[in-house]
Amino acid sequence: MNIVVDIKNLSKAFGSHIVLDNVSLKVEEGENMVVFGQSGTGKSVLLKCMVRLLEPDSGEIYIEGINVLNLSPKELNNVRKHLGFLFQGAALYDSMSVRENLEFPLIRHFNFTPKEREDKIKSVLEKVSLEEAIDKMPSELSGGMKKRIGLARSIITEPKLMLYDEPTTGLDPITSKEISSLILELQKSLKMTSVVVTHDLLCAEIIADRAIVLNNGIVQHEGTITELTTSSDPFLRNFFSHEIVEDQNRRN
């Protein structure tokens, strides 16, 4: 199996606050890896280190065999071209139409012709079932529709690796389920590998092939969702009973 993400002994502190303490993680090609952890454990920091929005203090991060910590800005840009990320609270540009929002990453990183760009925009809108929204402004879209367009924008360049930070946060349970299923569908049809940070057990159950639980700066647990949720480990039992209670509250 091809290893798409290989993180070795990654550490990151802010002053004396150690957030990641020798974290290692491998993600195989085509795999959906979910990252769990309580709020403030460093899940977003982990994703940000992977795309070099934050500089780790030590360790190595290989993406498709390339150590992203050793790259020139130009080489880094090249790696980022094949990476998609959907960050927490990622917003559409309010003053741009859906079409312009989707066109943005295509113009920024690639040299497609206007016709190629239009084809890609239409094709990605079809994938997220929002063809009719092409000329709308973000203010005319519901929360769930905005999420779908945000998702469309992050996959329009057909990245091999997708990083999601809390993709369903703030959505009602039905929309959250729809977005999770859509993520899974896109991942299968585009043959992507993904790392998904989430608090949403329902989302994880839909998406995850495997999951890790970050705690106190380390990968404390790793396994399938079933293995993790049925474990007798006291920390996991507490963590998941809390998550499940949260989830049930949302359903009610």
Ligand X SMILES: Nc1ncnc2c1ncn2[C@@H]1O[C@H](COP(=O)(O)OP(=O)(O)O)[C@@H](O)[C@H]1O
16 binds, among ligand X, Mg ion, none (CB under 5 to 8 A by kind): none
Segment contacting Mg ion by CB under 5 A, of 40-48, 98-106, 107-115, 127-135: 40-48
166 phi-psi bin (left φ>0, alpha ψ -120 to 50, beta other): left
Q: Does 193 bind Mg ion (CB under 5 A)?
A: no
Segment contacting Mg ion by CB under 5 A, of 6-14, 39-47, 60-68, 122-130: 39-47
Q: Does 44 bind Mg ion (CB under 5 A)?
A: yes
How many residues bind Mg ion (CB under 5 A)? The answer is 1
Residue type, 139: S
42 binds, among Mg ion, ligand X, none (CB under 5 to 8 A by kind): ligand X
CB of 80 to ligand X, least distance (A): 19
CB of 169 to ligand X, least distance (A): 11
58-63 and 66-67 beta bridge pairing: antiparallel
Considering the complex, state which of residue 4 and residue 23 has its C-beta at the smaller distance from ligand X. 23
Angle (deg, nearest 10), helices 173-189 and 234-251: 110
Considering the complex, state which of residue 18 and residue 96 has its C-beta at the smaller distance from ligand X. 18
Residue numbers at the binding site for ligand X (CB under 6 A): 14, 19, 37, 39-45
Q: Does 168 bind Mg ion (CB under 5 A)?
A: no
Where do we find the tokens 């280190």?
A: 49
Calculate the dihedral angle through the C-alpha atoms of 155, 89, 194, 174, rounding to the nearest 10 degrees: -90
194 binds, among ligand X, Mg ion, none (CB under 5 to 8 A by kind): none
Segment contacting Mg ion by CB under 5 A, of 18-26, 36-44, 105-113, 243-251: 36-44
CB of 10 to ligand X, least distance (A): 13
The three-state DSSP-derived secondary structure of 2-70 is: CEEEEEEEEEEEECCEEEEEEEEEEEECCCEEEEEECCCCCHHHHHHHHCCCCCCCEEEEEECCEEHHH
Of the candidates 163, 135, 142, 139, which has an alpha carbon nearest to the alpha carbon of residue 151?
A: 163
Of the candidates 185, 217, 212, 182, which has an alpha carbon nearest to the alpha carbon of residue 196?
A: 212
Considering the complex, state which of residue 38 and residue 97 has its C-beta at the smaller distance from Mg ion. 38
Residues found near Mg ion in the complex (CB under 5 A): 44
